[in-house]
Structure 1
Amino acid sequence: MRKSLYYLSLLTSLTLVSCSTILNNLPGVYNLEIQQGNIIDQAMVNQLQPAMNKRQVLYIMGSPMLDNVFHKNRWDYVYSIEPDGEDRVQKQISLFFENDQIVGIQGDFKPGAAPAIKSSGEITIDVPKRDLDRTLWEKITGLFGYDDVEDAPKPEAKSSPGSATVKLPL
């Protein structure tokens, strides 16, 4: 009786382990990429400058992931992602403050030597003024031979002369 219970428990445990392995590696099954923590990239770290205050750092990096009660002058940012069954990638950076100004950076990122210039992300396009000859209704009636509409006076456009400026995000 004891031996059969042992084999039954061994068979059950092997079945459960193989099911999880098989289910995790099925082709065509979508696995979610779950990002955890603050998204940190090198461009953000390059914007950090010595003697920046906490408010400026908060604007660039966002709120810290860990708020340590024992170290109020240390902000820790942690980012973790496990893409499509690959190994987990975890990056962290710690910022140290003294007198409400940044004095040190420690972690997986190093600030760049050149000052970072952030582009606005907008471009300006000059759109020329469009001269509307006929309305859509006038064009449709012109196809059927009702050209007497063309003799009617055209309303003046209310837009100012010249070109319009449109800002588009990149």
Structure 2
Amino acid sequence: MPSSLRILAIAGLCALLGACSLFKFPGVHRIEVQQGNIITQEMVDQLKPGMTRRQVRFVLGTPLLEDTFNPNRWDYVNRVRDPKGDVSQKRFSVYFNGDILIATSGDWQPAGWP
């Protein structure tokens, strides 16, 4: 009799512990997580055709990706995960001919560029 009572008690405890996972407890604080480069439209508007790599790095910061196979392209990536778990990602690329800025592409466009 005691062994069947013990089995019943263990089964009851397992059921109670499993039921705890059904509830979402309030008050769990989650923060916004930002990764990559912070790029703003104001920063992008400072770019002008003919700028050097050094000038672009001064304005935008160090690129997240410098492609080994295409050294004339720098990629800036910004990824944000909000407290709900939704993820947004923005990209911005600059292209050089040698040491001179010739083009951009991505989620921002410099003002006054063709």
TM (norm. structure 2) is 0.75
- Number of the residue aligned with 2:27: 28
- Number of the residue aligned with 1:39: 38
State the distance in 2 between where 1:69 and 1:32 align. Answer: 34
State the distance in 2 between where 1:58 and 1:22 align. Answer: 49
Alpha-carbon distance, 1:86 to partner: 4.8
Instruction: State the 4+ residue runs in structure 1 displaced beyond 6 angstroms.
Output: none
Alpha-carbon distance, 1:61 to partner: 0.4
1:82 is aligned to 2:81: yes
Alpha-carbon distance, 1:65 to partner: 0.2
Alpha-carbon distance, 1:113 to partner: 2.5
Question: How high is the sequence identity, in percent, across the aligned residues?
Answer: 41
Whose strand fraction is larger, Structure 1's or Structure 2's? 2
Q: What's the C-alpha RMSD, in Å, of the aligned pairs?
A: 2.1
TM (norm. structure 1) is 0.51
State the distance in 1 between where 2:63 and 2:29 align. Answer: 31
Q: Which runs of 5+ in 2 are unaligned?
A: 1-17
Listed one character per residue, the Cα deviations across residues 15-69 of structure 1 (whole Å, up to 9, x for unaligned) are 6xx94x855xx42211121110001111110111100000000000000001210
Q: Which runs of 5+ in 1 are unaligned?
A: 1-14, 115-170
Alpha-carbon distance, 1:109 to partner: 0.5
Q: How many residues align?
A: 95
Which structure has the higher relative contact order (CA within 8 Å, separation 6+)? 2
